[in-house]
Structure 1
């Protein structure tokens, strides 16, 4: 792997953590997430302008994925309303690959390597310790079910998107259509829950949400490009440094408490995710 690819992957990880930090910065995290969904929709419209239409059962995969993405944004927005970036992000980000591995191994009958079992164990310990810290640090406990819900939703769309993109055989078009659909479903959910008051969005929230959409999309593009230039397992493992970036951003930018327990938990989660990505 060249130094340029290495730095590019780290930049993608930083951008992923940064868009989460941008949403956390806003006065209204739920509205910020909605603006980001709309930004994704704009990017999706531009993308599908030159791509083929989905056909047949691909629409079912897209609708299923949009449902999971909507749930993901819903839970994550509420989690950031209640909890720290350095607490929410590792649980949400680290829980998803553990759940995907368990589903693939148990429900789908896929072979799990020794490294997968070791990684799942480290992930489980790290997440339990991170969650336990909520009860011992005086932080709001309300964020925990939302962070866990976000992890479940992420695992859900990861599995559905993998199968759906394979069936469509065009990842670019699939993601573009997904962005467009999710740009409708998430705002619709927010309006149904909060009424039209959620549409009264100030300039700061619009700016942060749109910047978040740009950072999220750019991170995704870099990651996909890197997977064409270097081993996929290595790229995906390196991307998980985003957890460390999020913890550092929470500590340095938001002044969140950085206890030894939180730092150890984050390192265990990163180690667990990286190990699960190893090909043996």
Structure 2
């Protein structure tokens, strides 16, 4: 992975952590998720209008991607409802790179070096152990929701990676995916809570304005990176956003970080450094 792609994906991971930190304090998780999803449509529409249209062969992948992103959002909300997300969310984010790596090697014919495989394993282990470091036990329902969420993350990562490569215009590709997905989630939210979508700029401004734009920028960078490096490596590196989230929590929000989490961060960073030098 080149220095430019590596740095860009780390920037995307930081942006992902930053918008999560902004909306973290919101008590209404459904409203925050809706604000972020609908907020995607603003930069998404700009990308559609300003950039070349994706190639026709990528449109089926856009449709699949919209459905998978919606499924991810739905099961993530279930994880919020069923358990402590600080326990189950790392399980979702940490399992996704492992799934992507297995599918890439076994089904897509991608060849990964031993060093790259080791880097993916270390990053995934570090992320998952962040959740395991929490005191108490997650209930089976919450763990199931987390693992299903991880499957959706892996599925949309693979779909968007393939679609972006076919599109010839990866940012516009994600512009369409994000905008159509925002419209779909807005319709769902309007059905669940009539009148909520119209009030989002007032009731959830952080999620709608900053969350939507930062989330769009973060994943748009990742979609572009999918066209520059193996999807499995980009997916694993993207999930280091959890480390950035912990650092923001410790140094900005003054949250406590114990020795177990410090060890988890060290393992994840070790995998990140290994990935950087795995392939020129």
8 A Cα contact 1:76 1:146, kept in partner: yes
Where does the alignment leave 5 or more consecutive residues of structure 1 unmatched? none
| Cα offset, 1:57, TM superposition | 4.0
Matches within 5 A, 1:229-244: 241-244=240-243
The residue number in structure 2 matching 1:168 is 167
- Residue 120 (structure 1) shift: 4.0
Deviation string for 1:37-86 (max 9, x for gaps)?
1111121112212345556442211011111111222233444554355x
How do 1:11-26 residues align onto structure 2 when only pairs under 5 Å count?
12-26=12-26
Contact persistence 1:44–1:176 (CA under 8 A): yes
| Distance of 2:246 and 2:193 partners within structure 1 | 34
Change in 2 beyond 3 A, CA 1:126/1:240: closer
Aligned to 1:91: 91
Pairwise CA distance, 1:163: 1.1
Query: Cα–Cα, structure 1 residues 266 and 10, in superposed 2: closer, same or farther, change >3 Å?
Result: same
Q: What is the CA–CA distance in structure 2 between the aligned matches of 1:191 and 1:227, rounded to whole Å?
A: 33
Length-normalised TM-score, structure 2: 0.76
Residue 83 and residue 257 in structure 1: after superposition, are their counterparts in 2 closer, same or farther (change >3 A)?
Answer: farther
The 2-side partners of 1:223 and 1:189 are apart by: 26
Distance 1:147 1:253, change over 3 A: farther
After superposition, the Cα gap between the structure-2 partners of 1:77 and 1:159, relative to the gap in structure 1 and judged at 3 Å, is same
Q: Deviations over 1:221-259 (max 9, x none)?
A: 66789999xx969x9587655332111234455665533
Cα RMSD for the two superposed structures: 3.8
In structure 1, the partner of 2:136 is 138
Distance in 2, Cα, partners of 1:18 & 1:217:
12
In the other structure, the counterpart of 1:59 is: 59
Cα 1:122–1:238 change in 2 (3 A) is: closer
Question: Conserved in 1, the CA contact under 8 Å of 2:16 and 2:215?
Answer: yes
The CA deviation string for residues 160-189 of structure 1, in whole angstroms up to 9 with x for no partner, is: 111112222111221111111111222334
Distance 1:75 1:25 in 2: 20
After superposition, where does 1:99-110 map in structure 2 within 5 Å?
99-110=99-110
The answer for the alignment partner of 2:71 in structure 1 is 71
The answer (yes or no) to whether the contact 2:170–2:223 under 8 Å persists in 1 is no
Contact conserved, 1:78 with 1:146, CA < 8 A, in 2?
Answer: yes
TM-score, length basis structure 1:
0.76
Where in structure 2 are the equivalents of 1:123-162 lying within 5 Å?
A: 123=123, 125-134=125-134, 137-138=135-136, 141=139, 143-162=142-161
> Residue in 1 aligned with 2:258?
259
Q: Give the superposition deviation at 1:207.
A: 3.1
How many residues are matched?
271
Match of 1:268 in 2: 267
Tell me how far apart the structure 1 counterparts of residues 262 and 167 of structure 2 sit (CA, whole Å): 41
Aligned-partner SS, 2:31: helix
CA contact (8 A) 1:240 1:270 kept: no
Aligned counterpart, 2:34: 34
1:260 deviation in Å?
A: 2.2
Corresponding residue for residue 186 of structure 2: 187
- Distance in 2 (alpha carbons) for counterparts of 1:128 and 1:225: 26
